[in-house]
Amino acid sequence: MRLEINNQTHEVQSEGDTPLLWVIRDELGMTGTKYGCGLAQCGACSVLVDGAIVRSCVTPIDSVVGHSITTIEAMENDPVGQKVVAAWVAHQVPQCGYCQSGQVMAATALLKQTPNPSDDDIAAAMVNLCRCGTYNSIKAAVQDLAGQKVGTL
């Protein structure tokens, strides 16, 4: 099976019903995407599929063949992702850091789709769980980015 991840084609051996998260981490060795609950509850495993946020722990790989998958590893070369990471640093968002790749992916997806999101838009999009309780700093960082309309980059 061929998967297009971060603009590269990967030939993978896993069965079609294998969750994308397993393939990304275990078969392809991209460990920036995290395993939290495995039940589509926490968002630690968030990646983008054709620009939309997806929980990769419950996404079988045969459902994403022919689609464009983006992981946290691509954010260093993504103009919006770079701005999100910079805002995360400026606001000192991460605590333990475990949930943060998923949070960055959620913020990037939001800002690409809605460059100047309202507080309601932010609340609706930033629903990933954080056991360290970084919710206020996540909100402040995304509000900063909304004001800059970085999604129009």
Residues of this chain that interact with ligand FES (CB under 6 A) are 35-38, 40-45, 55, 57, 94-100, 130-132, 134
Alpha-carbon distance of 20 to 143, in angstroms, equals 31
Q: Quick one: which of 15, 112, 105 has its CA closest to 62?
A: 15
Q: Within 5-78, where are the H helices?
A: 20-22
Q: How far is the CB of 19 from ligand FES (least distance, A)?
A: 8
Given the complex with ligand FES, which of 110 and 151 has the nearer CB atom? 110
Closest distance to ligand FES from the beta carbon of 138 (Å): 9
Inter-residue contact 27 to 12 (CB < 8 Å): yes
| Alpha-carbon 84 to chain mean position | 11
Between 38 and 115, name the residue whose CB sits nearer to ligand FES: 38
In the complex with ligand FES, the residue whose CB is nearer, 37 or 49, is 37
